Amino acid sequence: MKFSAKDWIIEVHTSIQIYKVYCRYLDVNQKEIKPAVESVVFPEFTIYCCRRSRAHYMSITTTKDEKINQTRLHSCFIREYVCLVYPKYTLSLCVKPMYGKEPKFVLFAEYIEHYKLQGVQHFYIYVKDVDKYTEKLIKHYVKSGEAEVIYFRDKQDRPEIEWHLDCIHRSRHHSKYTIYADMDERILPTDTSTTLSTYTSFYQEKFQGEKTVKEHLPTLVYHKTASPAPVGYTAKCIIDPKKVFLMWVHHVAIYFPGYEGYEVPKSEGIIRHYRDIMMGDWYKHYLPGVEKFGPFTETDYPPTLMKQLYENVKTKLDFVYKHD
């Protein structure tokens, strides 16, 4: 995957497992522009190559003299340069890759509509596996301009490791702030009169109208709630991609010089993390640790948001699946 910025061309390259590489450039006639430029694979799968004024094509090689596998440069130079100063979106969300063929359309619709209520304007959706029924809903969000979808190939890509690095580059200069959240997580400010933008399993085979929403909407049917975990426990982040050099799932590993993070206290924000504890033997592996946080209580998704979320999800599913 290749991205362009004002001074750099950036590749996220999962098939290279060595440290030193060479950036190779070709002109409009596919003649090489010498010399090859040495670079490194860091952080993780990321390769930074400097821009060359006459370059129309480029490739990455492990030596400076080997035959070039010609690939076209990222084409959206003008849009990317403008976005350096004026990001298209204020708040976006990186969606962790989907796995498995079980239907996810109710969970996914609620996930998207929840974060739209929180001020998210754009979604970067990563997909490893997806059933056709859920994919129809994904394509609807893409067609509406609210999302873009990135499909992982079977053998070359390793989505569990590198999707979050890809999303840093994909969102950098495109969105001012970016959230990282799993599909079963609902990040909320404690004060529900504000939104996240202020801080700038059950499965259903087919959609059956209001019955499906009432019986399977996670925020409506899950109420038994663990005590809050310690600050930082499986944390999720809202980042400014221009200030983050290396991102992991639960924390920023490396900031650009001069920047640091802020830990949101429990009094300001929470993550409602929805789990069917019987799936994947979760209750055996993780429930004992969660029980140590304190007693369980019955809680609800904020009533001030529930009605609007319910209507938004139902309206979206009615529209997408009206002919099924």
pLDDT in tens, the chain (324 residues): 555 555 556 555 555 556 788 888 888 888 888 898 888 877 667 777 887 878 888 888 888 888 886 554 443 343 444 444 568 899 999 998 888 888 899 999 999 999 999 999 999 999 988 999 999 999 999 999 999 998 876 555 554 567 888 888 889 888 989 999 999 899 988 888 888 886 663 445 567 777 888 878 888 888 889 888 887 778 888 889 889 988 887 889 889 998 988 888 888 888 888 888 777 677 788 889 989 999 999 999 999 999 999 999 999 999 999 877
Q: Could you give the 3-state DSSP secondary structure of residue 45?
A: coil
What pLDDT score does 301 carry? Answer: 92
Q: Could you give the 3-state DSSP secondary structure of residue 288?
A: helix
d(CA 62, CA 280): 41
Q: Is-cis flag, bond preceding 43, omega within 30?
A: yes
**For tokens 């056709």, what's the residue?**
132
What pLDDT score does 232 carry? Answer: 74
Specify whether the CB–CB gap between 134 and 105 falls below 8 A.
yes
Planar angle of CA 7, 171, 186, nearest 5 degrees: 160
What pLDDT score does 153 carry? Answer: 66
d(CA 222, CA 299): 9
What pLDDT score does 266 carry? Answer: 83
Residue 271, number of CB atoms within 10 A of its CB:
18
What pLDDT score does 80 carry? Answer: 45
d(CA 80, CA 66): 31
CA 59 to the chain's CA centroid: 27
What pLDDT score does 93 carry? Answer: 96
Kind and range of the H or E element at 148? Answer: strand 147-151
Q: Which of 275, 262, 304 is nearest to 186 (CA)?
A: 275
d(CA 163, CA 143): 22
d(CA 225, CA 228): 9
d(CA 27, CA 262): 45
Specify whether the CB–CB gap between 227 and 293 falls below 8 A.
yes
What pLDDT score does 221 carry? Answer: 83
What pLDDT score does 138 carry? Answer: 96
Specify whether the CB–CB gap between 125 and 96 falls below 8 A.
no
